[in-house]
Each structure stands twice: as C-alpha cells, then as structure tokens.
Amino acid sequence: MKPAAKAGRPSEASRLNRDDWLNAAFDAVVEGGFERVRVLALAQSLGVTRGSFYWHFADHAELVDALLARWREGEHEVVRRLQGEFTGAPQADLLLLLDAALARAGADLENMRFELALRVLGRRDPDVARMLVQVDSERMALFEDRFARLTGERHRAGELAALFYLAIVGSHQALSRPSSTARIAGYLKGIIGEYLIRQQARPADPGR
C-alpha cells in the first residue's frame, strides 16, 4: 500500500516508474552491494527528489523486497526456458545447460555480481537465505534429473549435480575477468563436458 501523502512533484512521478527505481537499485547493488541501496542516493542518480520515490514504494524495505522478487522471478524464468529447450536426450540436455551457463556468465556480469551480493546479504538475512535455498534447489533439481537419466543411478545423480553446479559457479568466477573470455569458456566447456557429462553416460544411453 502506498502512503497517503505524496511528497514528490507530479512531473517527477510521471516520468519515472517502479522499474526505473528498481533498475537504479539493481545498479547500486552491482556497484557496491545492498548497502548502496539508499533512497537519497538513488534519487540523486535518477535526477529527482527523494519524495518522488514515495509515489512508487512505501519505504526502503518495499523497494528491496520488489528487487528480490524481480530477480527471483527472472531466475525461475531461466529455468522454465531451459526446460522448454530440452531434447529428451540427457547428455544433450546437460550440454545445453552447460552452454547456457557459460554464455550467460560471459555476457551478464552484472547479474553475476548481483547474485554474489545477494548471497552476502543472505548470510545475515534469514528470509534472503531461504529464497536462495529455493533458487539453488530449483537449479539442482534440474541438474539432478538430467544426471539421473544420463547414468541410470539416482544416488550418483545428486553427487554429479552438485559437482556440476560447483563447476558452473567456478566458471562464473573465471569468466568475470575481462581477458580471453571466449578461450576460457571453450576450455571450461571441454573439461566439464568431458569429465562430468560424457564420461558419466551409461553405454546404452541414446544421448551419448
């Protein structure tokens, strides 16, 4: 619910919307963590008065909640999209997931930095920690299902999915450096694809 009193000038409120404020907050997190999300600083970056903020959000907490919800929905949409691209052959699907993860890491450094800041916040905020557990569980379930189909061994699938996830996280760190991104991505794809995917397939697997 928005507050009854609107302090900003109508011209400011009309030229900005909630997404403008959320985008500014996202940029602030990328630049310096959630400590940088301050209403006055965001207003200055947008060239408006602080009062304009209250046309769109009740307070700072509502802004942060909306920012987290938008990120969470974005990550859920990534999972849905990847599921829609699955071929049914587990090896091909895992290579698709690997390609998507490496491509995203090389092209979307801002989102990587946002998630890193989010995980730092999760160490001291139980609600954020629970949300991150849900995101990780959704990703892991996607990986584990494909590995179970690849190997035919459900108990190994969880271990391989965890290793796969850790390898992707490590790849994101490597690809956060600006130098030789394409070469590094190709190198990582070769190692992860060979040792964690191709060599794990059972001989009769149709995706091999």
Q: How high is the pLDDT of residue 186?
A: 85
Q: How high is the pLDDT of residue 75?
A: 95
Per-residue pLDDT for 4 more than 50?
A: no
Give the pair of three-digit tokens for residue 147: 């590995």
Q: DSSP secondary-structure letter at 180?
A: T
Q: Are 168 and 95 contained in the same domain?
A: yes
**pLDDT tens digits for range 18-49:** 999 999 999 999 999 999 999 999 999 999 99
CA 110 from chain centre, in angstroms, equals 10
Name the domain count of the chain. 2
| Most distant CA pair in the chain, distance | 69
**How sure is the predictor about 195, in pLDDT bands with cuts at 50, 70 and 90?**
very high
Task: Give 127's Cβ-side CA count (13 Å radius).
Answer: 6
Q: Are 53 and 81 contained in the same domain?
A: no
Q: Are 27 and 83 contained in the same domain?
A: no
**pLDDT tens digits for range 83-98:** 999 999 999 999 999 9
* Structural domain contains residue 82: yes
Taking the alpha carbons at both ends of the chain, their separation in whole angstroms is: 55
CA distance 201 to 170: 23
* Structural domain contains residue 43: yes
Number of residues that this document lists for the chain:
208
Q: Are 42 and 103 contained in the same domain?
A: no
Q: Are 81 and 106 contained in the same domain?
A: yes
**How sure is the predictor about 136, in pLDDT bands with cuts at 50, 70 and 90?**
very high
Q: How high is the pLDDT of residue 86?
A: 96
104 vs 162, higher pLDDT? 162
**204 burial type by CB count under 10 A (0-12 exposed, 13-18 middle, 19+ buried):** exposed
Cα dihedral 32, 33, 37, 43, rounded to 10, equals 30
CA distance 145 to 139: 10
Q: Are 145 and 185 contained in the same domain?
A: yes
Range of the domain at 118: 71-200
Q: How high is the pLDDT of residue 72?
A: 97
Q: DSSP secondary-structure letter at 204?
A: T
Q: How high is the pLDDT of residue 105?
A: 77
Q: Are 25 and 109 contained in the same domain?
A: no
Q: What is the CATH number of the domain that holds 44?
A: 1.10.10
Quote the pTM value. Answer: 0.83
Per-residue pLDDT for 8 more than 50?
A: no
**pLDDT tens digits for range 55-73:** 999 999 999 999 999 999 9
With beta carbons less than 8 A apart as the criterion, state whether 179 and 93 touch: no
Per-residue pLDDT for 1 more than 70?
A: no
Q: What is the CATH number of the domain that holds 134?
A: 1.10.357
Q: What backbone phi and psi angles, to 5 degrees, belong to 88? A: 100, -20
Nearest CA to 82 out of 68, 66, 94, 70 is that of: 94
Task: Give 161's Cβ-side CA count (13 Å radius).
Answer: 23
Q: How high is the pLDDT of residue 14?
A: 58
Q: Are 120 and 48 contained in the same domain?
A: no
* Structural domain contains residue 37: yes
**pLDDT tens digits for range 176-191:** 666 657 778 888 889 9
* Structural domain contains residue 205: no
Per-residue pLDDT for 163 more than 90?
A: yes
Give the pair of three-digit tokens for residue 13: 């409120």
Q: How high is the pLDDT of residue 208?
A: 46
Q: Are 79 and 175 contained in the same domain?
A: yes
- To 5 degrees, how large is the angle CA 197–CA 99–CA 131? 90
